[in-house]
Amino acid sequence: MAGEKYVYDFSEGHKGLKELLGGKGANLAEMTRLGLPVPAGFIVTTRACQAYLATGHNPDGLDAEIDEHLAALERTMGRRLGDAEDPLLVSVRSGAAFSMPGMMETVLNVGLTDASVTGLAAQAGGNERFAWDSYRRLIQMFGKTVCDVPGEEFSDALEEAKKAKGATDDLHLDAADLRALVDRFKRIFAKHTGYDFPQDPREQMRLAMEAVFRSWNAERAVLYRRQERIPADLGTAVNVCSMVFGNLGADSGTGVAFTRDPASGSQGIYGDYLSNAQGEDVVAGIRNTVPLEDLKRLDPKSYEELLAIMAKLEGHYRDLCDIEFTIERGKLWMLQTRVGKRTAAAAFRIAAQLVDEGMITLDEALRRVSGAQLAQLMFPRFDLSADPAVLTKGIGASPGAASGRAVFSAARAAELAAEGEDVILVRRETNPEDLAGMIAARGILTARGGKTSHAAVVARGMGRTCVCGADQLEISGTRFTVNGQTVAEGDVISVDGTTGRVYLGSVPVRPSEVVQYFEGDMVEESTLVDAVHTIMGHADATRRLAVRTNADTGEDAARARRFGAEGIGLCRTEHMFLGDRKELVERLILSSTESARNDALAALLPLQRADFVDLFRAMDGLPVTVRLIDPPLHEFLPSLEELAVNVAVARERGEENAEEAQLLDAVRRMHEQNPMLGLRGVRLGLVIPGLFAMQVRAITEAAVQLAGEGLNPRPEIMVPLVGAVQELEMVRQECEQIVAEVVADSGVEILIGTMIEVPRAALTAGQIAEAADFFSFGTNDLTQMGWGFSRDDVEGAFFWRYLELGIFGISPFESIDRDGVGRLIRIAAEEGRAVRPELKLGVCGEHGGDPESVHFFHEVGLDYVSCSPFRVPVARLEAGRAAVTSEDSDSR
């Protein structure tokens, strides 16, 4: 595009321009605007990078613009880039819109050449050591990051030089040593590139800038983005910043700092300082740093100034900031700041502290924490007080803490688990054949693959702890080696699915204090619990969505209620057909006469009634949605294969059993090719006379009984799998008759509604609403039928591939597919409400507890979400966040 501005001076930008200038550039500009001491410089935009990556060369006009800004920079600094007498040196730094720590490149000291290295020494008061140290750093960084020279060649040469000198620290190398090292580095450079280290400063700068552009597509950067779900086409900005020197002597140095502790959230500054060093040394851990407090002694003036700047930054960003700084001969320079990453616990503590300090509002505090963070705090964690040995670290792919014996095959996992052992399944990577082992294991550890690998997707789907991509693991047969340690089958290891750490031996697990708090247990004084309490309180006061739970027993219901559930959105009655009642259900299915069937139903009635009494009692005063029986009845019968074998064997022996043969007959008759699409839900109710009627009677009688005790039961009867209004009308009529008869004048009120989980129901919601008091979206089935995916079959079989191909960014069973399934929900909500404005709308699929999905349900105007008891607090928090989230907040 002609005339586009590709280059911004630090004084031209601000923190709102992250997308264009990258986070680093936008914040350098912001600090410049605030009048903080930032070395002068300019930023080449991410759009220039996008253009470069698309075409392989700089877009028209970019080079001229860079020349202009460089000339202006030279005027400001009173020096020319690479000048032989008094050189201006610059750093060329990457910086994308989302922070990608350590993923991309930076080159320092650009502009140094054989000629200007002497000028630099002279300008530094004859400090030759400093000049040659800077030059060897440039050749090293430039060689490695711009020209792909293997980094070890340089670091090995540096080690050799130190050894030759008997030195332990590169500070012991003097000017002559470093000068010799520069010669050595140049030879390494020429050997690998086939040409000499470039002596034209402008050429150095150009090559470094292009290398930064290209680093956007480096393999590790691509992988990282995929894991963090950062779009692939954003590109990185390039920051050109005049150099300041922390390696000028003892009165110089460099450091990093946080305005609060990013691990715990405690107030007070945290940081590390390294004297006589250049920035990258601190991060690289080349020499031992000292705590930031030591700077108070080393350079009190800079220390005070730094504290004042940090306070100013916190006040300005109203959040925890992390910074990078350099001191050049007693003068402090700011080289970077950003709103700092933090742990989940720190996020809650800091948000609550900032509210106390009057720096942010409660709304803002709510925006700064997330349901994912709260969920993390609710998992049990390892108690690390005994300092267990860390074996290695991978990617925390599915949170939780699990210890067990290492096993190396799915079969062995299943075997040992059946003997009652806790096992951790260790695989190079998993595939669909490992599924049984994954289910049997307490935790899963893989050497390959990221957050979207098969192991990660499946583990998250079933709530299993998983660490993946621990690429230092060398697995062979039934053992693995890592960092010189060997773990054989049967040895105990522990995996932390939150941090990705893997420990040797069993690590004790500590329950979550946040869960204890939700449970109403006494918790010792805890700043974390206080913070959670404050923020949850505000979420509850703010949210428009109610939060219910999915629960089938009084016990689950009571627990969910302690977690803040405001009713039951889904009680699955089929669970009530299992266990010792299976026999009754078999009788019901097999009965060939009406009276036999009625006997079976009559036997089930009191059992169901007792279940409902428990449930309504636990949820007294709150709505309880009971779904009439949903799964195909053959699920309650023995498996076809097993039964067929039994009958055949019996026949062989002449011990034929009429009952078993009859059962086999029934199982054969009811066998379905696609049970998910077969005789289930409302279809059962219409085909098997008396089945729904029995359930409705049990529900109503239970309610009337409790009303008689002075309680306030509020049942809602929900008909599953409706696709046509006629289905619902027929069931409704039957229900209403029974309800009217049983309720009589007891004062009990019962709503009758339907699930919307078949696409046809969503598309004819206007008709269906005529017969429904409420809709509850069954997002699992709606997703299955909307996509035509059978969840049990596809998730383990090929979802990882779909994720890898980018067909979806996250499994549609984890987070609602807004465009497709979400559109069905939108249509149904709008058309249903148009016919019946008071229609209650809720969600009872698993998406009800997924943070992203909760925001969607808020947007489309539903009344409540329902989720498993454990997810209730997460849903409450996210419902609150949905109500306060504004477009401009950056919650990432």
Catalytic residues: 454, 844
Q: Which two tokens stand for residue 218?
A: 């480096």
d(CA 179, CA 131): 9
Amino acid at 151: G
Query: If you ran DSSP here, which 8-state letter would residue 196 be given?
Result: P
> Which residue type sits at 525?
E
Q: Least distance to Mg ion from the beta carbon of 336, Å?
A: 5
Q: How many CB atoms lie within 10 A of CB 91?
A: 24
Tokens of 825: 């929900």
| Cα–Cα separations (whole angstroms), residue 705 to 112, 259, 513, 700 | 89, 61, 39, 9
Residue 262 or 497 having the CB closest to ligand ADP = 262
106 binds, among ligand ADP, Mg ion, none (CB under 5 to 8 A by kind): ligand ADP
Q: Which of ligand ADP, Mg ion, none does residue 381 bind to, with CB < 5 to 8 Å depending on kind?
A: none
Q: For residue 240, what is the enclosing H or E element?
A: strand 236-242
Q: Which residue is nearest to ligand ADP (CB)?
A: 279
Q: Which is closer to ligand ADP, CB of 279 or CB of 394?
A: 279
The CA distance from 872 to 375, in Å, is: 10
Residue 781 CB, shortest distance to Mg ion, in Å, is: 4
Q: Which is nearer to ligand ADP, 324 or 817 (CB)?
A: 324
Q: Which does 210 bind (CB under 5 to 8 A by kind): Mg ion, ligand ADP, none?
A: none
Q: Which stretch binds ligand ADP (CB under 6 A): 80-88, 235-243, 617-625, 823-831?
A: 235-243
Using the rule CB under 6 A, give the single segment among 242-250, 641-649, 705-713, 847-855 that binds ligand ADP. 242-250
Q: How many residues bind ligand ADP (CB under 6 A)?
A: 18
Q: Which is nearer to ligand ADP, 241 or 722 (CB)?
A: 241
Using a 10 angstrom Cβ sphere, with 0-12 exposed, 13-18 middle and 19 or more buried, the burial of residue 876 is buried
The DSSP result for 420-468, as a single string, is T--EEEEESS--GGGHHHHHH-SEEEESS--TTSHHHHHHHHTT-EEEE
> Min. distance of Cβ 43 from ligand ADP in angstroms?
12
Binding status of residue 243 toward ligand ADP by CB under 6 A = yes
Taking each helix axis from N to C end, the angle separating 554-562 and 594-618, rounded to the nearest 10 degrees, works out to 30
One of 25, 39, 82, 404 touching ligand ADP (CB under 6 A): 39
| Residue whose CB is nearest to Mg ion in the complex, by number | 781
Residue 462 identity (one-letter amino acid):
M
* Phi, psi angle pair for 133, to nearest 5°: -60, -45
Distance in Å, CB of 256 to ligand ADP, minimum = 7
Distance CA 89, CA 743 (A): 87
- Tell me the two tokens of residue 750: 């019962």
Smallest gap from Cβ 100 to ligand ADP, in A, equals 8
Which option in Mg ion, ligand ADP, none does residue 201 bind, with CB closer than 5 to 8 A by kind? none
Nearer to ligand ADP, 324 or 846 (CB): 324
Beta bridge partners, 775, equal 754, 841
Q: What is the closest distance, in whole angstroms, from the C-beta atom of residue 317 to Mg ion in the complex?
A: 16
Partner touching 757 among ligand ADP, Mg ion, none, CB below 5 to 8 Å by kind: Mg ion
Applying CB under 6 A, among 241, 664, 769, 865 the residue interacting with ligand ADP is 241
* CA dihedral sign of residues 875, 880, 886, 890: negative
- Segment contacting ligand ADP by CB under 6 A, of 210-218, 237-245, 297-305, 650-658: 237-245
Helices (H) and strands (E) in the chain, counts: 37, 33
392 binds, among Mg ion, ligand ADP, none (CB under 5 to 8 A by kind): none
* Shortest Cβ 242–ligand ADP spacing (Å): 6
CA distance 38 to 9: 12
- Nearest-angstrom CA–CA distance, 398 and 386: 24
Q: How far is the CB of 340 from ligand ADP (least distance, A)?
A: 13
Smallest distance from Mg ion to CB 820, Å: 17
Instruction: Give the x-and-dash track for 265-304 against ligand ADP (CB under 6 A).
Output: --------------xx--x---------------------
Shortest CB 271 distance to ligand ADP, Å: 12
Q: How far is the CB of 246 from ligand ADP (least distance, A)?
A: 7
User: With respect to ligand ADP, which residue has the nearer C-beta, 91 or 398?
Assistant: 91
Segment interacting with ligand ADP, rule: CB under 6 A, options 187-195, 240-248, 354-362, 626-634: 240-248
82 binds, among ligand ADP, Mg ion, none (CB under 5 to 8 A by kind): none
CB-nearer residue toward ligand ADP: 106 or 113:
106
Q: Identify which of residues 328 and 781 has a Cβ nearer to Mg ion in the complex.
A: 781
335: contact with ligand ADP by CB under 6 A: yes
Residues forming contacts to Mg ion in the complex (CB under 5 A) are 324, 336, 757, 778, 781
Binder of residue 254, out of ligand ADP, Mg ion, none (CB less than 5 to 8 A by kind): ligand ADP
Taking CB within 5 to 8 Å according to partner kind, which of Mg ion, ligand ADP, none is near residue 326?
A: ligand ADP
Q: Which is nearer to Mg ion, 324 or 556 (CB)?
A: 324
Q: Which is nearer to ligand ADP, 27 or 58 (CB)?
A: 27
The residues facing 475 across adjacent strands are 480
CA distances from 443 to 426, 492, 493 (A): 9, 12, 10
Nearer to ligand ADP, 211 or 667 (CB): 211
Long-range contacts formed by 372-376: CB under 8 A, 24+ apart:
372/344, 372/851, 373/344, 373/347, 373/348, 374/344, 374/348, 374/514, 374/532, 374/873, 374/874, 374/877, 375/399, 375/871, 375/874, 376/344, 376/498
Using the rule CB under 6 A, is 127 a contact of ligand ADP?
no
Residue 279 vs 623, nearer CB to ligand ADP: 279
Residue 45's binding partner among Mg ion, ligand ADP, none (Cβ under 5 to 8 angstroms by kind) is: none
DSSP assignments along 363-409, one per residue: HHHHHTS-HHHHHHHHS-EE-GGG-PPEEEE-EEEE--EEEEEEESS
The first and second tokens of residue 572, run together, are 């699955």
The tokens describing 742, both together, are 């049983």
List the one residue from 51, 66, 108, 292 that touches ligand ADP (CB under 6 A): 108
| Of the candidate residues 32, 45, 302, 326, the single one contacting ligand ADP (CB under 6 A) | 326
Work out how close the CB of 90 gets to ligand ADP at its nearest, in angstroms, rounded to a whole number.
7
522-525: list long-range contacts, CB under 8 Å, 24+ apart: none
Q: For helices 527-542 and 344-356, what crossing angle results, to 10°? A: 70
Using CA atoms, how far apart are residues 41 and 28, in angstroms rounded to an integer? 9
860 with 821: CB under 8 angstroms? Answer: no
CA distances from 436 to 274, 333, 374, 418 (A): 52, 58, 30, 12
The kind and range of the H/E element at 700 are helix 691-708
CB under 5 to 8 A by kind: which of ligand ADP, Mg ion, none does 93 bind?
ligand ADP
Phi and psi torsions of 407, nearest 5°: -130, 155
Min CB(778)–Mg ion separation in Å: 4
In the range 73-102, which residues lie near ligand ADP by CB under 6 A?
91, 93, 102
With CB under 5 to 8 Å by kind, the binding choice for 778 among Mg ion, ligand ADP, none is: Mg ion
Residue 336 or residue 453: which is nearer to Mg ion going by CB?
336
Q: Which residue has the tokens 């109203």?
A: 318
The entry of Mg ion, ligand ADP, none near residue 268 (CB within 5 to 8 angstroms by kind) is: none
Q: Which residues bind ligand ADP (CB under 6 A)?
A: 39, 91, 93, 102, 106, 108, 241-244, 254, 279-280, 283, 324, 326, 335-336
